[in-house]
Amino acid sequence: MDKWRVVRSKSYNGAMNMAIDEAIMIAHKEGRVKPTLRFYTWDPACITIGYFQKLEDEIDLERCKKLNVDCIRRITGGRAVLHEDELTYSIIVGEDNPLMDSSITTSYKFISEGLIKGLNLCDVYTDELNKGEKIGRENLSAACFNAHASYEIAINKKKVVGSAQSRKDGVILQHGSIVLDFDVNKLFEIIKTESKEKKERLINFTARKASGIENETNIKLDINELEKNLIQGIEDHFNIEFIEENLTQYEYNLAEILYEKYSSDEYNKKR
């Protein structure tokens, strides 16, 4: 049975969370660490934008400052996500690992199935996974949670887990938000819209498409218990053994260097 590392959750600001994910990715590529499952939270709240988004076109930076919300560009694609009342996971593993399919959507499905097993252990039951949907241009926005991609996790047809994946130098990084309480109004305070009317329409549309686990189930989840059950569910589904470890000193040192990139205007405003 393969052994993977699990790193239990700690809170960091947005730049450090993204720096640590990339540091693990590099350390794994160099053969220094096992495949890794990591959990984390955000302090303060943070909106992350996808790698290809245009920050200043889509995010109200002044409003972010007033609300004490960080704004960071991810290494992964996709659209903007507000990280606040959630538990975030990341999985870092080689593309050549036999558990990971060469198809991004197939590997998404496999990882989602593991997450669902963990949620079931919390008595949280989700919709059947599906191939996602297309939405009309009039309802598109910079927000990730107003559309369902392939094999994303939903309850009552509302997305509650949003994930993104990057593949670089033979290594997969997938990270995602397991949302507990979804605040659609705060999200659209931060995301720019063309008019007040369009903002109201997008708020209403997104509220029908996205939510949080606690919003949909009325189950108040303890984050530590949720994390423990997700570890168990993924371990069972992947048929692996998790070894709980901390980040190595090498990863911390590398993350400190990468932090400078993720906290810089040059990187975050480069598009």
- Kindly report, residue by residue over 43-57, the tens digit of the pLDDT: 999 999 999 999 999
Q: What residues are annotated to the active site?
A: 144
Residue 24 pLDDT > 80: yes
- The pLDDT score that the predictor gives to residue 144 is 56
What's residue 191's pLDDT?
94
Q: Which domains does the chain have, with CATH numbers?
A: 3-262 (3.30.930.10)
pLDDT of the residue at 131 = 84
Q: What is the mean pLDDT of residues 168-173?
A: 97
User: Which of these, 1, 4, 15, 6, lies nearest to 227 by C-alpha position?
Assistant: 6
Q: What is the pTM of this model?
A: 0.93
Report, as an integer, the average pLDDT of 180-207: 94
Q: What is the band of 137 on the pLDDT scale with cuts at 50, 70, 90?
A: low
Q: What is the pLDDT of residues 65-86, one digit of tens each?
A: 999 999 999 999 988 999 999 9
pLDDT at 135: 53
Nearest-angstrom CA–CA distance, 152 and 128: 10
